[in-house]
Amino acid sequence: MLYYFDWTYVILVMPFVLLSIAASLNVNRTFEKYSRQHSMRRITGAEAAQRVLSANGVGNVRIERISGQLNDHYDPRENVIRLSDAVYGSTSTAAIGVACHEAGHAVQYAQSYAPMQLRAAIIPVTNIGSRLAMPLILLGLVLSYFANFSYLLVYLGIACFGLSLIFQLVTLPVEFNASRRAMQAIVGAGILTQEEQVGARKTLTAAAMTYVAATAVALMQLLRLLILFTGGGRRRR
């Protein structure tokens, strides 16, 4: 049984999984902390998002309230910014940071920001690849006991998993750029005072680290698969 214990996961992947969990917990803590720091100008998240759009000459983008927390997003298909209950009507610096970030995505889309366009273009392919990756690898392993050529399915599965890493890599500049746009708008439009800007910036930085951690996990997972199933890492029958 010890032969089948996967040390590659423990050594390569687990540290970054723990990092990802820590990043997610840090987002929640940071958001909760700065949810108690309210804007002196009493601007709500929805109002702040609208100011970012107006400052960039972007119109016809709806801003809607949705239930939940930290599930805020911009939907380019319907051209709508959806803000959670904790963000939409809140005047906290955390809420304003999140709302302006999502408005930054809407501005990216309106201005044809290249990484945003690339991410949108590859989403269908990466979704299919992520769903097929592990089934193909498992099927390839099973069939490899009956036909040598079937191991090609394992390689195909690894390639499909690689697509998810490509998506994560493309997502990084999109998210960091949206946060940069958000802070520029917050400062330029005078949405928050200099002291209050710290709360928004720290909230956005904490959120950005979750994407960095997710990318690191995907990278280590791909490296693990390559070690296990290619070259000297491939187990022989």
- Active-site residues, by number, are 102
Size (the chain), residues: 237
As given in the structure block, the two tokens for residue 223 are 């490296």
Q: How far apart are CA 43 and CA 17, in angstroms?
A: 37
Whether the CB-CB separation of 117 and 105 falls below 8 Å is answered with no
Coil, strand, or helix at residue 138? helix
Cβ 20 vs Cβ 213: under 8 Å: yes
Distance CA 124, CA 3 (A): 38
Q: Which amino acid does the sequence have at 85?
A: D
Q: Residue 164's CB: how many other CB atoms inside 10 A? A: 20
- Burial string for 194-222 (b: 16+ CB within 10 Å, else e) reads eebbebbbbbbbbbbbbbbbbbbbbbbbb
Q: What are phi and psi of 84, to 5 degrees?
A: -70, 170
Alpha-carbon span 112 to 96, nearest angstrom: 24
